[in-house]
Amino acid sequence: MTVRTLVLLRHAKAETPGELPDFERQLTGVGRANADAAGAWLADERLRPGLVICSTATRTRQTWHGVAVALAQADRDAQSPEVHYERDLYYGGRTEVIDLLRAVPDEVHTVLVIGHNPTMSDVSILLRPYDGDAVLEGLKTSGMAVHRTEASWSQTEPGSMPLALTHTARG
């Protein structure tokens, strides 16, 4: 059976809200270094996405850019993933993320979703099978939650994807 892997990535460290609208906040220098580190970690773990679903906000697009550069540097011969920029990852919540995952074609084995908290943490917690003893922590900036399943993407439901791994990238 085919294993499908979902990587949920909270965007890297962004500027403190100021005069710009929240949607346009950019990564800090630390955030750019952490995005690069996230891509290097994904490459080291052989978690190369076939599809990236990324929020349209500036900081998430910049996070993807850092991740993409690091992935490309790790394997210059690897094919670049298909990238979908989705406004619902900024304006929506966990229901919208689940709906986006259900629409992923089954031939895609690894999906990277780059979004915002609390949604990324909420989705990770929602997808885990119930474990009354589990400690449920939210993702920090550049935090990743890796979930795996043998089910079809269209069968994505609460409790359907055990958490396999977590990591917080620091550059």
List the chain pLDDT tens, one digit each, 171 residues. Answer: 799 999 999 999 999 888 889 999 999 999 999 999 999 999 999 999 999 999 999 999 999 999 999 999 998 888 899 999 999 999 999 999 999 999 999 999 999 999 999 999 999 999 999 876 666 678 999 999 999 999 999 999 999 999 999 999 997
**CATH (residue range 4-12+23-168):** 3.40.50.1240
**84-94 in b/e burial notation, b at 16+ Cβ within 10 A?**
ebbebbbebeb
CA-to-CA distance for 10 and 15, rounded, in angstroms? 15
pLDDT score, position 133: 61
pTM here is 0.96
Q: Domain locations in the chain?
A: 4-12+23-168
Tokens of 70: 């690091």
Give kind and range of the element (H or E) at residue 72.
Answer: helix 58-74
pLDDT score, position 136: 67
Q: Which of 29, 61, 45 is nearest to 165 (CA)?
A: 45
pLDDT score, position 50: 97
